[in-house]
Amino acid sequence: MGHNADYIYWAYGIVFTVLSIFLWISSRHDNE
Amino acid sequence: MHHLISPKHCLAFISRYQKYVSFFLILFLSYGLYAGLFLAPKDYQQGNVYRIMYIHVPLAIMSLVIYVTMSIAALIYLIWKIKIADHVAKISAPIGAIFTALTLITGSIWGKPTWGTYWIWDARLTSELILLFIYFGIIAIRSSMSEPRLGAHASGIVTLLGLINIPIVHYSVDWWNTLHQGASILKWGAPTIAPSMLHPLLSMIIAALLYYILVVMVRLRKMI
Taking CA atoms, A31 is separated from B76, B113, B169, B191, B192, in Å, by 22, 42, 32, 42, 44
- Give burial (CB, 10 Å; 0-12/13-18/19+) of B72: middle
Q: What is the Cα–Cα distance from B64 to B82, expressed in whole angstroms? A: 23
- The mean pLDDT value for B26-34 works out to 97
Question: By CA distance, what is B38's nearest residue in A?
Answer: A1
Chain B residues interacting with chain A (CB cutoff of 8 angstroms): 47-49, 51-52, 55-56, 59, 94-95, 98, 102, 105-106, 109-110, 112-113, 211, 214-215, 218-219, 222-223
- Average pLDDT across chain B, whole number: 93
pLDDT bucket at A2, cuts 50 / 70 / 90: low
CB contact under 8 A, B109 and A11: yes
What confidence tens digit (pLDDT) does each residue in B64-114 have? 999 999 999 999 999 999 999 999 999 999 999 999 999 999 999 999 999
Model confidence at B127: pLDDT above 50: yes
Residue A29 has a pLDDT of: 60
What confidence tens digit (pLDDT) does each residue in B134-185 have? 999 999 999 999 899 999 999 999 999 999 999 999 999 999 988 899 888 8
**Which SS3 state, helix, strand or coil, does residue A10 take?**
helix
Identify the weakest region by mean pLDDT among A10-19, B55-64, B171-180. Answer: B171-180
Residue A1 has a pLDDT of: 46
What confidence tens digit (pLDDT) does each residue in B179-223 have? 899 888 877 777 788 888 999 999 999 999 999 999 999 999 998
Chain A residues interacting with chain B (CB cutoff of 8 angstroms): 1-2, 4-5, 7-8, 10-12, 14-15, 18-19, 22-23, 26-27, 29-32
Residues of A within 8 A of B113 (CB-CB) are: 4, 7
Residue B43 has a pLDDT of: 87
CB contact under 8 A, A7 and B219: no
Question: Which residues 6+ apart lie within 8 Å of B12 measured at CB?
Answer: none
Question: Which residues 6+ apart lie within 8 Å of A10 measured at CB?
Answer: B109
pLDDT bucket at A5, cuts 50 / 70 / 90: confident
Residue B132 has a pLDDT of: 98
pLDDT bucket at B224, cuts 50 / 70 / 90: confident
- The mean pLDDT value for B4-31 works out to 92
Better-scored residue on pLDDT, B224 or A16 = A16
Task: Count CB-CB contacts under 10 A for residue B134.
Answer: 23
Better-scored residue on pLDDT, A2 or B71 = B71
| Nearest-CB residue to A4 (from B49, B98, B211) | B49
Model confidence at A17: pLDDT above 80: yes
- Please report the ipTM that was assigned to this predicted complex: 0.90
CB contact under 8 A, A26 and B219: yes
CB contact under 8 A, B48 and A4: yes
